[in-house]
Amino acid sequence: MNDNLKTKNVGQVFVLIPSHNRRDILCNTLLMVRAQLPPKAARLVVIDAGSSDGTYDAVRSICPSAEIVGGETSMWWTATVNHGLKYIAQTARSGDRVILMNDDVNLDRNALNHLLEASCLEPHSLIGAVNVVHNPHGNQSCVYFCGGRYDLRFACHKVNIRQGTPWQEPCTRFQQTDFLYGRLLVIPWDAFESGYRFDEVSFPQYCADEDFTFSAKKRGFQVLVDCKSVVYVNEETTARFSLNFKKGGLRGVRQALTSFNSCYNWKQNWAFGRRYAKWPLLFFICRYSIIIINENFRHGSKN
C-alpha cells in the first residue's frame, strides 16, 4: 500500500471470518490472509460457530496470531457475524475498519491491500471486491458480481457488469452500487455505531449482507465496488438451489423457497420487499416471476 495512503486512516483493521466445520478450507484462507496482511497490519478474528472437525486446534496451529471467538452450532451466517462484531466492539473505535470475508474464497494477489487502499481513498464508504469465477477451461475468468442498482418497483437488478462477462479491469476504479455481497468487503466501524448490526432475525443466512449495505447507503454512507480488488468465488462450497422445475421438480422448488440457506427463501425476500419497496407485493411477484422465467426458459441465467 502507498505510504501516503497509510497516513489517511491509521485506525485498527479487523479481518472477520465466520466459519463452521470447514477446517481445511478455512486454514487455506487464513494463510492467504496472513500472506497479504501480517499480524501488525490487521487483527484476524475467526468466529467458530461450534465446529466439531478440529477447527480450533487447526487454526491455533497454522495461524497462532488469529483470535478465535467460540460460537454455537445453532448460528447461521448472520448470527455468527454479529457474534464477531460483539467481540470486536470491546475495543473498536471510530476510524477502525472491518474486513468481512467468507472462509471459502480465493484471494487475488494484493486483494486485501487494494481493498484497504480503497478504504483510505473513500473512508466513509462500504467497499466490496469484484467477485469472479475461474473458468474451468483455463480461459479468462468471468464476472460473478460487480455491483448494481435495485429496481424497487419491478425487482430487476440493474447490474454494472453482467454475470458471465469475461473479467477485465475497467478504467474507472470504483463502481457505484446499492448493495454488496459478504465474500469480501471493508466496512468503516462508524457504520456499526449506534447499535447497527446485520439483521439475523429477518435474514439468518442470505440477504443480510445486501440488507445491511443498502441500509447503510440510506443512512448516508457510500457503497462502492473496488475494481482493483478481486475475490474468486468457490462454487463447490456455495449452496445450490434452483427454481427450475425440470431440474429439481416440485420438491426442489419447495426446498429453494423454504430453506434458510437458500437465496430464494420466500420469507427473506418478502421481508426485504416490505422493508424497502414502495409496493412490496408487486416487488415480490415481479422478483419471483423474473427468477422463474430466467431459470426455466433462459437456461438458468440470472438478471
Can you give the pTM of this predicted structure? 0.89
Residue 30 near residue 44, CB atoms below 8 Å: yes
Angle between the N-to-C axes of helices 23-36 and 55-62, in degrees from 0 to 180, rounded to the nearest 10: 30
- Tell me if 50 sits within 8 A of 20, measured CB to CB: yes
| Whole-number average pLDDT of the chain | 90
Angle at 254 between CA 251 and CA 259, to 5 degrees: 120
Task: For residues 43 and 95, state if they share a domain.
Answer: yes
Domain harbouring 134, CATH code: 3.90.550.60
- Judged against a pLDDT cut of 60, whether residue 6 lies above it is answered with no
Does residue 228 sit in the same domain as residue 252? no
Same domain for 231 and 255?
Answer: no
pLDDT in tens, 170-218: 889 999 999 999 999 999 999 998 889 999 999 998 899 999 999 999 9
Domain that holds residue 285: 245-297
* Band (299; pLDDT cuts 50, 70, 90): low
Percentage of the residues of the chain whose pLDDT score is greater than 90: 73
* Number of domains, the chain: 2
